[in-house]
């Protein structure tokens, strides 16, 4: 378990979850957290979010470092859920850096427990609703099927989807998932998001022109500005978020690392400004 001293109620914990054992196509996302941190602190960018919030001068967020992922699936799941639960028990909020999308299932186990009635806004090219993929129920293509089966999510709103096949369309119907396909999405669309709200952001939601450093290139996605607009216009404070599927192996120029670091700043600012607005 990581050291949580100094993490107070209302604070935000940044946590690396370097787990990609259940990636179906390419490994590499386990390398992401350290590359995102390197970009964030490289000196190429300052620590201000676009709204002027200077994260370098804000002591209410803490980088907990990377979780040590134990061998064995059950142990890995328990370590991720246990750490998230410990942060939530202290009244903290978590911004988790994957890892692939398989990390969201153990994170949502903790969040579903702590926040009944949880809404998840899921930005992704893929619905990640497979019952199993290649015989793997913990695949990064399955986390939302697992979380919904366990009742961890009250409302799942998926945006940016552009890979629905008949099985996943049937799964979406079975679980009552609200799928807004990329071809139907428009900027400013009212998603009627309500608290408690969690954001799960798969970098392949963006067009590979903007985010080439992902395992699954799926053209026809969001621009960077569109994703920033979604984050900056969220109507309620995020109780937590994960940023997943950055694959540094496919990012030789570092452009996707810079994108991920910028998204970290914008998500942190959204969470911390929301706390200030709440007056807590």
List of residues contacting Mn ion (CB under 5 A):
101, 124-126, 128, 202, 204
Q: What b/e readout covers 100-111, taking b as 16+ CB neighbours within 10 angstroms?
A: bbbbbbbbbbbb
Instruction: Provide the CB-side half-sphere exposure for 103 (13 A, CA).
Output: 32
Distance of CA 29 to the CA centre of its chain: 13
Measured from the CB atom, is 62 or 158 closer to Mn ion? 158
CB of 125 to Mn ion, least distance (A): 5
Q: Is 278 exposed, middle or buried (0-12, 13-18, 19+ CB in 10 A)?
A: exposed
CB of 107 to Mn ion, least distance (A): 13
Rg from Cα positions in the chain: 17
Give the strand pairing for 197-202 and 238-244.
Answer: parallel
CB of 88 to Mn ion, least distance (A): 23
Contact 84, 94 (CB under 8 A): yes
Measured from the CB atom, is 55 or 142 closer to Mn ion? 142
Measured from the CB atom, is 208 or 237 closer to Mn ion? 208
* Gap between the Cα atoms of 238 and 188, Å rounded: 18
Measured from the CB atom, is 11 or 101 closer to Mn ion? 101
Measured from the CB atom, is 7 or 202 closer to Mn ion? 202
Q: What b/e readout covers 6-25, taking b as 16+ CB neighbours within 10 angstroms?
A: ebeebbbbbbbbbbbbbbbe
Measured from the CB atom, is 8 or 132 closer to Mn ion? 132
CB of 140 to Mn ion, least distance (A): 6
Measured from the CB atom, is 61 or 222 closer to Mn ion? 222
CB of 89 to Mn ion, least distance (A): 27
SS (H, E, C) 227-244: HHHHHHCCCCCEEEEEEE
CB of 95 to Mn ion, least distance (A): 17
CB of 163 to Mn ion, least distance (A): 8
């Amino acid at each position: 378990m990581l050291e949580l001293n100094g993490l107070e109620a209302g604070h935000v914990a940044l946590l690396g979850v370097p787990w990609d054992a259940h990636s179906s196509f390419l490994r590499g996302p386990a390398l992401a957290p350290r590359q995102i941190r390197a970009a964030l602190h490289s000196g190429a960018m300052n620590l201000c979010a676009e709204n002027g919030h200077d994260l370098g001068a804000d002591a209410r967020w803490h980088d907990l470092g990377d979780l040590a992922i134990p061998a064995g699936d059950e142990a890995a799941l328990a370590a991720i859920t246990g750490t998230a639960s410990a942060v939530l028990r202290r009244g903290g909020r978590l911004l988790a850096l994957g890892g692939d999308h398989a990390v969201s299932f153990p994170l949502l186990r903790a969040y579903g427990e702590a926040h009944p009635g949880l809404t998840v806004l899921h930005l992704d090219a893929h619905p990640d609703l497979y019952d199993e993929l290649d015989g793997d129920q913990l695949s990064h293509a399955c986390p939302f099927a697992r979380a919904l089966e366990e009742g961890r999510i009250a409302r799942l709103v998926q945006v940016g989807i552009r890979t629905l096949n008949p099985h996943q369309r049937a799964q979406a119907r079975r679980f009552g998932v609200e799928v807004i396909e990329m071809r139907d999405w428009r900027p400013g669309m009212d998603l009627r998001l309500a608290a408690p709200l969690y954001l799960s952001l798969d970098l392949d939601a963006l067009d590979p022109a903007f985010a080439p450093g992902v395992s699954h290139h799926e053209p026809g996605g969001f621009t960077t500005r569109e994703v920033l607009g979604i984050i900056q216009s969220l109507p309620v404070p995020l109780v937590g978020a994960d940023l997943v599927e950055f694959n540094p192996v496919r990012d030789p120029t570092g452009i996707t690392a810079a994108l991920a670091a910028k998204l970290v700043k914008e998500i942190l600012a959204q969470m911390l400004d929301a706390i200030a607005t709440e007056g807590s």
